[in-house]
Amino acid sequence: MKNSRFDATVLTLGFAFLYIPIIILVIYSFNASRLVTVWGGFSLTWYQQMWSNQGLMDAAWVTARVAVISATIATVLGTLAALTLVRFRKIPGRLLFSGMIYAPLVMPEVITGLSLLLLFVSLNVDRGFWTVIIAHTTFSMCYVAIVVQSRLLTFDRSLEEAALDLGCPPVKTFFRITLPLILPAVLAGWMLAFTLSLDDLVIASFNTGPGATTLPIKIYSQVRLGVTPEINAICTILIGLVAIGVIAASLATKRSELRRQRDEHAAAQG
């Protein structure tokens, strides 16, 4: 009983430490006062002014495009990497390949951003929109690979073998059998890559250029001069988008697991 109370207390304090500042930020985004620490009543003024702030809107549009494109590319490459790691266990250099896939997962973002910056400089590539996309794809692809790989490890390959025995080509088997079954994991990986790109600051700051200022960089540059209510409003919207992405990815993964359990149960009874 004492241990359960202690665990509950520690858990409550931990969640409070993490989420109370976020809750305060959300509440003060509806503050009528320009002073962000003084409550002046409920108002949507700062959300209206946020939409008329051309600099913030341009940065938000850049962030959305970067997140969608980099998440899509990372999902394709991460899925192919997961298939390679699961289906081809005896290929030469597999250990090196898996290490390269998982390296961005454990490597500090500062090192990843700096190494990519040095790469672009050595290749004489002008930093801008596409360098940010390449950078975000590089560090988010490993997350997609992990999510898809976990699904492939529990995948029933007898379905693929049955399709191949019936004369279905391997590529068609993948798109008609394998991909639909692992699609929830692929979508979960895409949502995870999207949210990671959406709120990245460190890696983007190393690899951005003129005309490619993302929203986190824009917010950081304005916060250095002082927090304004508009920053609270745009941060609240970002928190909402990230929360929706995380919830959607969790629901997709849970639905995939439930579907897999139902299929296994039906196969066992059949």
Average model confidence (pLDDT) for the chain? 82
Exposed / middle / buried, residue 5 (Cβ in 10 Å: 0-12, 13-18, 19+): exposed
pLDDT score of 177: 81
How sure is the predictor about 70, in pLDDT bands with cuts at 50, 70 and 90?
A: very high
What residue type is assigned to position 118 of the chain? L
Tokens of 84: 């390679």
| Fold adopted by 52-269 | MetI-like fold (1.10.3720)
How sure is the predictor about 254, in pLDDT bands with cuts at 50, 70 and 90?
A: confident
How sure is the predictor about 267, in pLDDT bands with cuts at 50, 70 and 90?
A: low
Counted residue by residue, the chain has a size of 270
pLDDT score of 3: 64
User: Which is nearest to 238 in space by CA: 204, 197, 209, 266?
Assistant: 197
* Whether residue 6 has pLDDT greater than 90: no
CB atoms within 10 A of CB 173: 18
pLDDT digits (tens, 9 = 90+) for 206-253: 988 887 888 888 888 877 776 677 788 888 887 887 788 777 767 776
User: Which is nearest to 32 in space by CA: 44, 24, 20?
Assistant: 44
pLDDT digits (tens, 9 = 90+) for 17-40: 888 888 888 888 888 777 767 777
Interacting residues of 228 by C-beta distance below 8 A, sequence separation 6+: 34, 36, 222
pTM: 0.80
CA–CA–CA angle 211, 225, 19 (5° rounding): 95
Phi-psi region for residue 124, left (φ > 0), alpha (ψ -120 to 50) or beta?
left
* Whether residue 2 has pLDDT greater than 60: no
pLDDT score of 75: 94
pLDDT score of 251: 77
How sure is the predictor about 67, in pLDDT bands with cuts at 50, 70 and 90?
A: very high
